[in-house]
Chain A
Amino acid sequence: MNSNQSQCCCDGSVNQFDKLDEVLKKYQGVKGALIPVLQEAQHAYGYLSKEVLQNISKKMDIPISQIYGVVTFYSQFHLTPRGKSIIRVCQGTACHVRGAKTILNEIENQLNIKSGATTPDLKFTLETVACIGACGLAPVMMIDDDTHGRLTPEIIPKILAK
């Protein structure tokens, strides 16, 4: 197995699904396991490719149509590759009242992408989120698992530079 192939998960080669098989084994016989399986598969591969979904469908014996229905229902699941860092700008009520729109605009300008898109170099994916529950620090955003609070448009470039 050359290293080139192990980087990519969508060439359909059998070994690419090792990680997935592990996940499926863990949830074998567990009731209602589809969502956790999808969550862990996405965690392992970065996103849910057609091949991964087909594999899950076959091994869990759930029609692909039903899996597709679940994947597209929840905002957490993604069918296309994502950036290395995920920026989630909170647009909750508290953040809205404290100017979350201007923060989002500034990030869109800086990265030159719209909310929901990924930068061409696959560095950042920009998303909005309804509330991350850190309203005390509004307006806030999360970059991966780190929360940045009390934002102003002026400090955005500094945070992104990091």
Chain B
Amino acid sequence: MEHIRAHVLVCAGTGCVSAGSKKIEAALRDQIAKHGLDKEIKIVETGCHGLCEMGPLVIVYPEGVFYVRVQESDIVDIVEQHLYKGRVVERLLYTEHDTLEGIPSYKEIAFYKKQMRMVLANCGQIDPEQIDEYISVGGYEALGKALTTMKPEEVVDEVKKSGLRGRGGGGFPTGMKWGFARNAPGEKKYVVCNADEGDPGAFMDRSVLESDPHRVIEGMAVCGYAIGADEGYVYVRAEYPLAIKRLKNAIEQAEAIGLLGENIFGSGFNFRLKIKEGAGAFVCGEETALLASIEGKRGMPRPRPPFPAISGLWGKPTNINNVETFANIPQIITKGADWFASIGTERSKGTKVFALTGRINHTGLAEVPMGITMREIIYDIGGGIPDGKKFKAAQIGGPSGGCLPEQLLDLSVDYDSLIKVGAMMGSGGLVVMDETTCMVDLAKFFLSFTQEESCGKCTPCREGTKRMLEILTRITEGQGKEGDIELLETMARDIKTTALCGLGQTAPNPVLSTLQYFRDEYEAHIKEKRCPAGSCAGLLEYTITEECKGCGLCKKACPVEAISGEKKGLHEIDQDKCVKCAACFAKCPFKAIKKQ
């Protein structure tokens, strides 16, 4: 028998692949073969480790040495020094921002220390393209347990007792939803997984599908058994080709060994799974729109009731959950509802995966117990703000969520606390902003997104968001008027109460929450025609300071010939001609151009 003395894990998540991890893997194979180590060292291509900022990542087991930002040229060292001679390559180790000391072990890194990786437990640890690897870490045990030792009602009760709530945004109790679908009359029922992760700034569902697709399949099969469905669909965004590929592969493997198909585990339960590729429409994340899209129609929401649990796909009872929700199911079945319910807060149980992005040191995926504070997520796990800048706000919950200011950093992160302060859990996107981000511009950014994605079916959303966007655009261009803020507030409230679906009802949230916490910025734009963050181009003025050496680079860069001056003399910008393109600002080697 072969004796494998070390495993080298190469991250093949989207982040690391984009950063070149495929080349690294090839080089690694080459070098290992060259040194005759290929019998004793195994290379494993894994899914995402979450610390995307530091990719491509390479981890060497059994020691668990964590190498970051590995380049092709570093492979020789890793093989010759580490794998051959047993010496850790210090220069490739991860360094903490404050101490600058290299940290060899994965578990010692601050980014991972405060996390509780349950849904992401296998991500980065197993090869997502091998069903055996999933089974070897306890995969499909939950399905086996449910099918052979539990009645369908018991499964529903267990999920109810666990307190699991929908991870896709709304936070509706999952067990209750399953109960509705189970009790709905009808022979034919469906299970649908919503993997149309459209929130800009969220990528946890993608990561789970790419790194641990079987977990989602298992969760869906358990759901099928519980509600009495024999068919399921996974609706995946077409923008996620790797997730689709791995999911397809996983379904085939599960079918091949009888974990999907007819008479699973000899229980008489049949379950088949199909993939539906989305065609690019954010509103399809809304459940009734998603169902319309699976049926091959325009993905437009319809009024509820009837809820999909009663009349869903092709008019049949349908249970829809998102990827992360299904991924939570296997552990609830194997470890029990009580164990799950012991994690989190009174009304929000378990963990939540957040996608940390924006102006933060550790961009990536972090899974934390519910009830942790924003401060812990942003500073302890996220490593704080880069370049010594100051924290300004965190945007949580995507285009439906809100912006939270510094004074709310110690807020407990759970469904109810977030709603109370005007944000929402959403799918778990967490975008951090520093002092250079303009909050009016940010509100405009989100609104232009929802406006563009509005399906046009109901008037408040179609027309209302458009008018609000016009007002915001006006404000950022320095044309804001007295009364604009009040008008925005009235419109926001009207749209919230009258729009047909979740997209429209939550579209005004980013405007309302920035108005609530950063009203002074709106006022500065309107009354003083000034952008405090220095980001709204229309409100800035570029001037040349005494630092100017008269090199003439800015003059050459200016597209409208607004800059004049003699060689070696002080240059000047004609404010009437200036179009505020910032070309001169970028070109000046002496930082002599000031914008304010």
Residues of A bordering B, CB below 8 Å: 31-36, 38-39, 69-70, 73-77, 91-94, 96-98, 129-138, 140, 145-150, 153
- Of the four ranges (under 10, 10 to 19, 20 to 34, 35 or more), the interface on chain B belongs to 35 or more
Contacts of B198 in A (CB 8 A): 130-131
Residue B203 interfacial (CB < 8 Å):
yes
- 27 intermolecular pairs with C-beta atoms under 8 Å apart: A31-B296, A32-B295, A35-B296, A36-B277, A39-B277, A39-B279, A74-B278, A74-B281, A76-B278, A76-B280, A93-B358, A93-B429, A94-B200, A94-B431, A96-B200, A97-B433, A97-B437, A130-B282, A130-B449, A133-B206, A134-B15, A136-B53, A136-B363, A137-B15, A138-B363, A149-B15, A149-B18
Given contacts A33-B296, A93-B398, A136-B363, 15 further A-B contacts (CB under 8 A): A32-B295, A34-B297, A35-B296, A38-B279, A93-B200, A93-B445, A97-B431, A130-B200, A130-B449, A131-B202, A131-B203, A135-B357, A137-B19, A137-B55, A145-B241
Closest to B284 in A: A74
Interface residues in B384-420 (C-beta closer than 8 Å to A):
395, 398
Known pairs A31-B295, A34-B296, A70-B296; A137 contacts B199 (CB<8 A) = no
Name A93's contact: one of B18, B298, B314, B357 (CB within 8 Å): B357
B4 at interface (Cβ–Cβ under 8 A)?
no
- Inside 8 A of B281's CB, which chain A residues have their CB? 73-75
Q: Which of B239, B279, B363 contacts A129 (CB under 8 A)?
A: B239
Interface centre among A91, A134, A153 (most CB of B within 10 A): A134
Asked if residues B277 and A134 are in contact (CB atoms below 8 Å), the reply is no
Q: B460 an interface residue at 8 Å Cβ cutoff?
A: no
A25 smallest CB distance to B (angstroms): 17
The reply to whether B201 and A93 form a contact with Cβ atoms under 8 Å apart is: yes
- Partner among B240, B295, B299, B364 whose Cβ is within 8 Å of the Cβ of A133: B240
CA–CA, A70 and B279, complex, Å: 10
Q: Does B506 have its Cβ within 8 Å of any Cβ on chain A?
A: no
Q: With an 8 A cutoff between CB atoms, is B348 at the interface?
A: no
The residue on A at minimum CB distance from B298 is A73
Tell me whether B18 and A74 are in contact (CB under 8 A).
Answer: no
Please tell me if B157 contacts chain A, counting CB pairs below 8 Å.
no
Chain B window 193-224, contacts with chain A (Cβ cutoff 8 Å), 1 for yes, 0 for no: 00001111111001000000000000000000
- A35 and B302 alpha carbons, distance in the complex (Å): 19
Asked if A93 contacts B395 (CB within 8 A), the reply is yes
Q: In the complex the two chains form, what is the Cα distance from A39 to B359 in whole Å? A: 37
Asked whether A134 lies within 8 Å of B299 as measured between CB atoms, the reply is no
Residue of B nearest to A145 (CB): B241
Residues of A within 8 A of B296 (CB): 31-35, 70
Instruction: Fill in one digit per residue for B428-455: 1 if any A CB lies within 8 Å of its CB, else 0.
Output: 0101010001000000011001000101
CB distance from A94 to the nearest CB of B (A): 3
Cβ of B294 within 8 Å of any chain A Cβ, yes or no, is yes
Please report the C-alpha to C-alpha distance between residue A76 and residue B357 in the assembled complex, in whole angstroms. 26
Question: Residue B293 at the A interface, CB < 8 A?
Answer: yes
State whether A131 touches B18 (Cβ < 8 A).
Answer: no
Cross-chain contact of A94 among B282, B295, B358, B455 (Cβ < 8 A): B358
B79 at interface (Cβ–Cβ under 8 A)?
Answer: no
- Taken together as a complex, chains A and B put the C-alpha atoms of A133 and B298 apart, in Å, by 24
Residues of B within 8 A of A74 (CB): 278-281, 299
Residue interface mask B535-548, A partner, CB < 8 A = 1: 00000000000000
- Given known A-B contacts A36-B277, A69-B298, A74-B281, A147 and B14 have beta carbons under 8 A apart: yes
Contact A133 B14 (CB under 8 A): yes
Taking a contact as CB atoms under 8 Å apart, the answer to whether B18 and A134 are in contact is yes
| Most A-side CB within 10 Å, residue of B198, B279, B363 | B279
A31, A133, A138: most-surrounded residue (chain B CB, <10 A): A133
Give the docked Cα–Cα distance between A104 and B17 (Å).
23
Instruction: State whether the Cβ of B52 lies closer than 8 Å to any Cβ in chain A.
Output: yes
What separation, in Å, do the CA atoms of A65 and B586 have in the docked complex? Answer: 50
Which residues of chain B have C-beta atoms less than 8 A from A134's C-beta?
14-15, 18, 52, 203
User: Is there a chain A Cβ closer than 8 Å to B121's Cβ?
Assistant: no
**Bound-state Cα–Cα, A132 to B237, Å:** 10
| A130→B240 CA distance, assembly (Å) | 13
Q: Which of A32, A138, A150 has the most CB of B within 10 A?
A: A32
Is B560 among interface residues, defined by CB-CB distance under 8 A? no
**Cα distance A146–B242 in the bound complex, in angstroms:** 11
With a cutoff of 8 Å between Cβ atoms, the chain A residues found around residue B453 in the complex are 130
Q: Answer whether residue B238 sits at the interface, using C-beta atoms and an 8 A cutoff.
A: yes
Contacts of A73 in B (CB 8 A): 281, 298-300, 455
Closest 8 CB pairs of A and B: A136-B52, A92-B200, A94-B357, A74-B279, A34-B296, A133-B203, A147-B18, A75-B280
Distance in angstroms between the alpha carbons of A123 and B577 in the assembled complex: 35
- Central interface residue in A130, A138, A150, by most chain B CB within 10 Å: A130
Chain A hits for B282, CB < 8 A: 130
Chain B residues closer than 8 Å to A97, beta-carbon distance: 357-359, 431, 433, 437
Would you call A148 and B445 a contact (CB within 8 A)?
Answer: no
Q: Separation in Å of the A105 CB from the closest CB of chain B?
A: 9
| Neighbouring B residues of A145 by C-beta, 8 Å | 241
Q: How far is the CA of A31 from the CA of B429 in the complex (A)?
A: 34
* In contact, B358 and A140 (Cβ under 8 angstroms): no
Name the residue in A97, A134, A138 with the highest tally of chain B Cβ atoms < 10 Å from its Cβ: A97
Q: Quick one: which of A38, A70, A129 has the most chain B CB within 10 A?
A: A70
Evaluate whether A94 and B363 lie within 8 angstroms (CB atoms) in the complex, with A35-B279, A138-B357 already known: yes
- Among B200, B276, B282, the one with the most A-chain Cβ atoms within 10 Å of its Cβ is B200
Docked-complex contact B357 and A136, CB < 8 angstroms: yes
| Chain A residues whose CB sits within 8 angstroms of the CB of B240 once the complex forms | 133
B57 smallest CB distance to A (angstroms): 11
Is B329 part of the binding interface, using a Cβ–Cβ cutoff of 8 Å? no
Complex contacts, A153 vs chain B, CB 8 Å: 586
Contact of B17 among A77, A96, A147 (CB under 8 A): A147
Q: B368 in the interface, Cβ–Cβ < 8 Å?
A: no
Distance (Å) between the CB of B250 and the closest chain A CB?
19
Shortest C-beta distance, A47 to chain B (Å), equals 14
**Among B18, B357, B437, B586, which residue has its beta carbon within 8 angstroms of that of A148?**
B18
Query: Chain A nearest CB: distance from B88 CB in Å?
Result: 25
Residue of A nearest to B283 (CB): A73
Cα A156 to Cα B572 in complex, Å, equals 30
Measured between beta carbons, the chain B residues less than 8 angstroms from A31 are 295-296, 314
Instruction: Decide if B355 is an interface residue (CB 8 Å cutoff).
Output: yes
- Contacting residues, chain A, for B455 (C-beta < 8 A): 73
**Pick from A96, A129, A149: contact of B19, CB under 8 Å:** A149
Chain A residue nearest to B243 (CB atoms) is A133
Q: Are B197 and A133 in contact (CB under 8 A)?
A: yes
Which partner residue on chain B sits nearest A142 by CB separation?
A: B239
Nearest opposing residue in chain B for A73, CB measure: B298
* Nearest CB of A to B454, in Å: 12
Near A by CB (< 8 A), chain B positions 278-325 give: 278-282, 293-300, 314
List residues of chain A with CB within 8 A of the CB of B429: 93
